[in-house]
Amino acid sequence: MSETTDTLIAPDPAAVKAEMLKIYPAKTAKKRAKQIILNDPEAPPEIGANTRTVPGIITQRGCTYAGCRGVVMGPIYDLLQITHGPVGCGYYAWQTRRNLVRPPEGTTNYLQYCMNTDMQEDQIVFGGEKKLAQAIREAYAIFKPKAIAILSTCPVGLIGDDVHAVAKQMKEELGINVMGFSCEGYKGVSQSAGHHIANNGVFKNIIGLDDKADVAEFNMNILGEYNIGGDAWEIDTLLRKCGIHVTATLSGDVSYDQVKKCHTVQLNGVMCHRSINYIAEMLEKKFGIPWIKVNFIGAEATAKTLRKIAKFFDSKKLTDRVEEVIAQEMLALKPVREEIKARHQGKKAALFVGGSRAHHYQDLFRDIGMEIVSAGYEFAHRDDYEGRKVLPTIKVDADSRNIEELHVEADPARFKPSKTPEQIAALEAGGFNFKDYEGMMVEMKKTTLVIDDISHHEMEKLIEIYKPDIIGSGIKDKFVIEKMGVPCKQLHSYDYSGPYAAFGGAINFYREVDRMLTTKVWKFIIPPWEKDPSSATPLTHTTRTEAKNETKAWRKGGAADADGPM
Amino acid sequence: MLNGTTAEIKPREALRINPAKTCQPIGAMYAALGINGCMPHSHGSQGCCSYHRSHLTRHFKEPVVATTSSFTEGASVFGGLANMTQALSNIFTIYNPKIVAVHTTCLSEVIGDDIPMMIKKAKEEKIIPEGKYVIHANTPSFVGSHVTGFASMVTGMVKYLAESTGTPAEQLNVIPGYIDPAEMREIKRIVNEMGVKTVMFPDTSGVLDLPQDGQYRMFPSGGATIEQIKSSGDSKGTIALGHFASHPAAIELDEKCKVPAALLELPYGLTNTDLFIHALRNHGGVDVPATIGQERGRLLDAMSDMHQYFHGKRVAIVGDPDHVIALTQFLVELDMKPVYVFTGSSGKHFEQRLTDMLATHAPDAMIKQNVDLFELHQQIKNNPVDLIIGNTYSKYISRVENIPFVRFGFPILDRMGHRYFPCVGYTGALRLMEMINDALLDHKDRECAEENFELIQ
């Protein structure tokens, strides 16, 4: 691939789009046309996002339950979670996301447990509430958890089980916090609806239960960071080095008790805007905590984020320390980055993943001089592409209306903003942006295609036409892409490597990309007899004397070097 | 690790903890991939399809494509007909498979979608092109397990496709069961070696174990062809491997086309392979070739050479019912001691069959269906074993209790051997022996006192 990269003429994105749509039936083509957009960073055009996937299209998307249970709730390690439904949903959400956790000694790590009501036909017919209540009693008797969450699957909503009533009843009976989540798979058009439902549930049922703040001069939460492969640990270590304390990371290696007091901080930093902006917004409305967009993926992005946080806290001590840390980290990182950049400058990447990763990971590829030819999210909304400025213009369709919007007001006793309106205004006047996600499109070139909820067919066409050197995607696409001879980095699981966040993570990522782009494996695809049919090792006569000089005899045979002709 | 699990076993009626089974549709999807040119279609919310594709991909490290009806709330209220119709139109236009195999989900089952009616309507409206097929299986997740789903889809193949033309075909059917592509490939090798003409369905070899040649093909050359499955109705007989995964389809074929069947167990180990070979010999009208006899002899030789390392070892085995039944038989042949014989799936046959099998050899063995890994772990805490055999999920118990562990069955998410090396047949049994022996001796070498650390075993 790399041989062709330099000579490849940049494809015309409009022509690529037409080619992708050509095969679709009219109705499907019309729908997909709105989700395949020729980018304009100056004025991002409107993209169709957070709309239904066309039935029959091979999609990357999952369901509401996956977004709620799998993404947001799953990593709270000491919250016992029971999936109410048949066995499958809970089973697939069991240890399949790589949210690493390190609970304190003696704490039961519920991520290692898959608990569900294994609903049978009887419950479908006669209702499953009794079985659910009994399951909660049994879970309590065995594990004595601090709190229990109930996660609903498709049949629950259809048969009319009221998980919230059961939660209330069991809360009274057991005297612990029990909360229900109506995150049935069909509730939304993707995982995204599940994130919102989880955000609401966490805000209503956990946040605010403990007002005792951690003692720290600079105290913040990292929201929308899931500690895949240890990312949150990298971020936490880096912040600690700067003197910044993280009360809670939602939701990565986080305890129920940490979540309870995450309204006590001075600042919220939002990593994955899509999955957690609801909590950030509600924390601001109710408790006065401002939020800013942060990004610890990519060395330049991490440095920028650290400076932004320092600017918010407005302390010379912190600002100096941050600069010191950045300089230190960059010193270690630069030689690695430069070495790898020299090998891969100008190579092409495409990213189709998540609700923020397809944006954040562009920074890492840019760090090593690579270009992004196309990108798109799996389940994002328009604001994640076009920026939050489009929020007022987003039409709320029937699918989004299903998801409750919590009405939140300032808490009379606990609304204590860490900054006065004057301080906020002064920061803003100095170019500081609060609630400032600008989206993916402004950072992408004009020649790129932005594709929402990319289909299998579009991915195939994309590879055929753009011939990217690497693609960042997920497990369902990975081996399709690699069968086409293009390495694919899973950006959900990191292919069981990582961490990739912050400076240390960036080094890991550069090395990983370097490994993938320099592996010999793709060069072996064509066997030698097809490359050069006459190159077989000839039959030769070898005398005993010649044989004594083994190297000479070997050479005489004309065998290829161990490395082989590539 | 797993430190909420205690030895005290409190009664549970409602709470499933760490299941040893999953839901029907994933089995149906896997079976459907064993038809040449087939697009599995999940009729329900798109999360099911996504979960199944992801999990199958993790097990095979191969592309697993499938489509979904992508239900949202509207479809859940008004029924899934519009979604199904649009899905079929898109699938045949964009992906152009020879056949679409629809399976249902909790969602479409609860709302009562009538799939045959939908298929009929799509045919009438010419949404299904001439010469193309759509078949289906009902696979509600609140009934049975992934094994039931597999069996239902294979039965669906018979219901929709098998035909009796009245002209008998000189061939046998083989229904291989819920086994890996490498094992299906090995069964075909054995059958070829025997010189018996067979039709095997489903057949995921050549679909989910593809070579890397720089090209992606959505519908690779592997899989049982529609013509082959059709012709199964004319076959002389069927050899069906596995009570839970394969026998229902064989019985359906007998009912439909009067094809008699030898209902066997999966060919793991010596006796079950003997039974398979013997059935092929007699019903295929061939002699057992010397090469097969030699394979058998080499297995027996290893069993005698290594007997001391297997004899009396206490084993916990957990997995899918057909797998556990057949493997337990092999453990008995090796004079190992099955102590816990568990399956997460339901089925009285499992308990009956194993009670008979172990009546004299291991009368104290605990045999349980519809049980989970949490209980297995508790039982092991009360009365430990020398070896655990199960799918990848059992590795947590193995680590925390420091018990040797052999990965066997579905899914295996953390090792590579199952993708290439079969456990069926005589040579497959050697692989099983090797895995067991290595696990036991590696453990001994790691844990024993220095004076007992020996060069030679």
Residue A5 has pLDDT above 60, yes or no: no
Average pLDDT, chain A: 94
The nearest CA of chain B is from the CA of A344 a distance in Å of 22
Active site residue A321: no
- Give the nearest chain B residue to A129 (CA atoms): B14
pLDDT for the residue numbered A11: 87
Phi, psi of A470 (to 5 degrees): -155, 150
- Give the nearest chain A residue to B17 (CA atoms): A115
The nearest CA of chain A is from the CA of B203 a distance in Å of 20
Residue B12, domain member (yes or no): no
Residues A323-364: pLDDT tens digits? 999 999 999 999 999 999 999 999 999 999 999 999 999 999
Question: Locate tokens 């960042």: which residue?
Answer: A472
- Give the nearest chain A residue to B378 (CA atoms): A142
Check CB contact of B112 with chain A, cutoff 8 Å. Answer: no
Set of chain B residues whose Cβ sits within 8 Å of the Cβ of A460: 216
Residue A563 has pLDDT above 70, yes or no: no
- Of the CA atoms within 13 Å of residue B436, those in its CB half-sphere come to 34
Which residue of B2, B10, B58 is in closest CB contact with A142? B10
Check CB contact of B61 with chain A, cutoff 8 Å. Answer: yes
DSSP characters for B83-113?
HHHHHHHHIIIII--SEEEEEE-HHHHHTT-
pLDDT for the residue numbered A159: 96
Closest CA to A74 of A250, A247, A244, A211: A250
The nearest CA of chain A is from the CA of B229 a distance in Å of 25
Which residue of A61, A115, A158 is in closest CB contact with B107? A158
pLDDT for the residue numbered A7: 38
pLDDT for the residue numbered A547: 82
Query: Both tokens of residue A262?
Result: 């995450």
pLDDT for the residue numbered B294: 98
Residue B259, domain member (yes or no): yes
Residue A558 has pLDDT above 60, yes or no: no
From residue B235, how far is each of A387, B160, B173, B228 by CA, in Å? Answer: 64, 16, 6, 10
The CB density around residue A514, as the number of other CB atoms within 10 Å, is 17
**CB-based contact A59 B48, cutoff 8 Å:** no
Judge if B334 and B448 occupy the same domain: yes
Residue B15, domain member (yes or no): no
Q: Which amino acid is at B249?
A: A
Exposure string for B246-261, b = 16+ CB within 10 A, e = fewer:
bbbbbbbbbeebebeb
Set of chain A residues whose Cβ sits within 8 Å of the Cβ of B4: 108, 110, 113, 142-143
Judge if B75 and B154 occupy the same domain: yes
* DSSP letter, residue B285: T
Cis preceding-peptide flag for B97 (omega within 30 of 0): no
- Of the CA atoms within 13 Å of residue B202, those in its CB half-sphere come to 32
Q: How many CB pairs under 8 A join A and B?
A: 255
Order across the sheet with B67-68: list the strands.
B67-68, B38-43, B99-104, B133-137
Which residue of A56, A119, A483 is in closest CB contact with B142? A119
Set of chain A residues whose Cβ sits within 8 Å of the Cβ of B75: 186
**CB-based contact A63 B95, cutoff 8 Å:** no
The pairing of beta strand A449-451 with beta strand A36-38: antiparallel
Mutate to test the interface with B, among A27, A142, A484 (most CBs of B within 10 A): A142
Query: Both tokens of residue B51?
Result: 């979960």
Contact present, B250 and B176 (Cβ < 8 Å): no
**CB-based contact A483 B215, cutoff 8 Å:** yes
Mutate to test the interface with B, among A154, A190, A484, A524 (most CBs of B within 10 A): A154
pLDDT for the residue numbered A556: 56
- Quick one: what percent of chain B has pLDDT higher than 70? 100
Q: Which amino acid is at B444?
A: K
**CB-based contact B90 A131, cutoff 8 Å:** no
Set of chain A residues whose Cβ sits within 8 Å of the Cβ of B213: 525
DSSP characters for A28-81?
HHHHHHTTEEE--SSSPPP---S-PPPTTS------HHIIIIIIIITTBTTSEE
**CB-based contact B72 A522, cutoff 8 Å:** no
Which residue of B12, B67, B90 is in closest CB contact with A28? B90
Chain A contacts in chain B segment 422-451 (CB below 8 A): none
Judge if B132 and B32 occupy the same domain: yes
Residues A112-168: pLDDT tens digits? 999 999 999 999 999 999 999 999 999 999 999 999 999 999 999 999 999 999 999
Residue B407, domain member (yes or no): yes
**Does this chain's domain A64-187 share its CATH topology with A208-333+388-436?**
yes
Contact present, B193 and B292 (Cβ < 8 Å): yes
Set of chain B residues whose Cβ sits within 8 Å of the Cβ of A98: none
Check CB contact of B148 with chain A, cutoff 8 Å. Answer: no
The CB density around residue A275, as the number of other CB atoms within 10 Å, is 30
Set of chain B residues whose Cβ sits within 8 Å of the Cβ of A66: 47, 50-51
The nearest CA of chain A is from the CA of B318 a distance in Å of 16
Q: CA-to-CA distance for B145 and B140, rounded, in angstroms?
A: 9
Q: CA-to-CA distance for B433 and B441, rounded, in angstroms?
A: 12
Query: Both tokens of residue A470?
Result: 């690497």
**CB-based contact B47 A134, cutoff 8 Å:** no
Residues A429-473: pLDDT tens digits? 999 999 989 999 999 999 899 999 999 999 999 999 999 999 999
Set of chain A residues whose Cβ sits within 8 Å of the Cβ of B118: none
The CB density around residue A236, as the number of other CB atoms within 10 Å, is 22
Exposed, middle or buried by CB within 10 Å (0-12, 13-18, 19+), for A530? exposed
- Of the CA atoms within 13 Å of residue A310, those in its CB half-sphere come to 22
Contact present, A162 and A147 (Cβ < 8 Å): no
Confidence of residue A9 (pLDDT cuts 50, 70, 90): low
> CA-based diameter of chain A, in Å?
99
Average pLDDT over residues A52-76: 96
Check CB contact of B324 with chain A, cutoff 8 Å. Answer: no
pLDDT for the residue numbered B190: 98
Check if the interface score ipTM surpasses 0.85.
Answer: yes
Give the distance from CA B150 to its chain's centroid.
8
The nearest CA of chain A is from the CA of B75 a distance in Å of 9
Judge if B301 and B249 occupy the same domain: no
More confident residue, B187 or A565: B187
Residue A565 has pLDDT above 60, yes or no: no
Order across the sheet with B237-241: list the strands.
B198-200, B172-175, B237-241, B261-264
Q: Which amino acid is at B244?
A: F
Kindly give the residue spans of alpha helices, DSSP state H, lying in A97-230: 121-126, 129-143, 154-159, 163-174, 191-205
Chain A contacts in chain B segment 85-104 (CB below 8 A): 86-91, 93-95
CATH 3.40.50.1980 fits A1-59+345-385+446-492, yes or no: yes
Q: CA-to-CA distance for A484 and A488, rounded, in angstroms?
A: 10
Count of domains in chain B?
3
Kindly give the residue spans of alpha helices, DSSP state H, lying in A393-532: 398-401, 421-429, 456-466, 475-483, 502-518, 528-531
The full set of domain ranges for chain A reads: 1-59+345-385+446-492, 64-187, 208-333+388-436, 527-566
The nearest CA of chain A is from the CA of B233 a distance in Å of 31
Which residue of A52, A61, A94 is in closest CB contact with B50? A61
Set of chain B residues whose Cβ sits within 8 Å of the Cβ of A191: 47
Set of chain B residues whose Cβ sits within 8 Å of the Cβ of A402: 73
Question: Three-state SS across B349-365?
Answer: HHHHHHHHHHCCCCCCC
Residues A308-319: pLDDT tens digits? 999 999 999 999
Residue B124: which CATH number?
Answer: 3.40.50.1980
Judge if B377 and B434 occupy the same domain: yes
- Partnered with residue B16 across adjacent β-strands are A116
CATH 3.40.190.170 fits A64-187, yes or no: no
Contact present, B233 and B253 (Cβ < 8 Å): yes
The pairing of beta strand B261-264 with beta strand B198-200: unpaired
Residue A561 has pLDDT above 60, yes or no: no
Domain with B345 in it? 295-452
Contact present, B341 and B317 (Cβ < 8 Å): yes
Contact present, B127 and B3 (Cβ < 8 Å): no
The nearest CA of chain B is from the CA of A46 a distance in Å of 24
Judge if B321 and B366 occupy the same domain: yes
- Give the nearest chain A residue to B70 (CA atoms): A55
Mutate to test the interface with B, among A92, A148, A458 (most CBs of B within 10 A): A92
Query: Both tokens of residue A64?
Result: 């509401």
**CB-based contact B23 A88, cutoff 8 Å:** yes
pLDDT for the residue numbered A2: 40
From residue B91, how far is each of A54, A460, B41, B134, B366 by CA, in Å? Answer: 11, 16, 9, 11, 48
Q: CA-to-CA distance for A257 and A397, rounded, in angstroms?
A: 36
Query: Domain A208-333+388-436 is classified in which CATH homologous superfamily?
Result: Nitrogenase molybdenum iron protein domain (3.40.50.1980)
Residue A8 has pLDDT above 50, yes or no: no
Residue B16, domain member (yes or no): no
From residue B180, how far is each of B199, B319, B417, B423 by CA, in Å? Answer: 17, 14, 11, 9
Average pLDDT over residues A407-413: 97
Residue B166, domain member (yes or no): no
**CB-based contact B13 A457, cutoff 8 Å:** no
Confidence of residue A170 (pLDDT cuts 50, 70, 90): very high
Contact present, A299 and A426 (Cβ < 8 Å): no
**CB-based contact A186 B2, cutoff 8 Å:** no
Catalytic residue numbers of B?
Answer: 106, 110
Q: CA-to-CA distance for B59 and B48, rounded, in angstroms?
A: 17
Residue B6, domain member (yes or no): no
Residues A195, A321, A360, A381: which is the catalytic one?
A: A195
Set of chain A residues whose Cβ sits within 8 Å of the Cβ of B22: 87-88, 91-92
Residues A63, A147, A301, A488: which is the catalytic one?
A: A63
> Which residues lie closer than 8 Å to A263 by C-beta, 6 or more apart?
A207, A208, A211, A283, A286, A287, A289, A414
Question: How would you write the pLDDT of chain B (457 residues) with one tens digit per residue?
Answer: 999 999 999 999 999 999 999 999 999 999 999 999 999 999 999 999 999 999 999 999 999 999 999 999 888 889 999 999 999 999 999 999 999 999 999 999 999 999 999 999 999 999 999 999 999 999 999 999 999 999 999 999 999 999 999 999 999 999 999 999 999 999 999 999 999 999 999 999 999 999 999 999 999 999 999 999 999 999 999 999 999 999 999 999 999 999 999 999 999 999 999 999 999 999 999 999 999 999 999 999 999 999 999 999 999 999 999 999 999 999 999 999 999 999 999 999 999 999 999 999 999 999 999 999 999 999 999 999 999 999 999 999 999 999 999 999 999 999 999 999 999 999 999 999 999 999 999 999 999 999 999 999 9
Which residue of A157, A185, A456 is in closest CB contact with B65? A456
**CB-based contact A476 B57, cutoff 8 Å:** yes
Exposed, middle or buried by CB within 10 Å (0-12, 13-18, 19+), for A288? middle
Average pLDDT over residues A409-437: 94
Q: CA-to-CA distance for A221 and A225, rounded, in angstroms?
A: 10
- Give the nearest chain A residue to B102 (CA atoms): A56
Helix, strand, or coil (residue A490) = strand
**CB-based contact B57 A112, cutoff 8 Å:** no
Query: Both tokens of residue B21?
Result: 């089974």
Set of chain B residues whose Cβ sits within 8 Å of the Cβ of A63: 45-48, 50
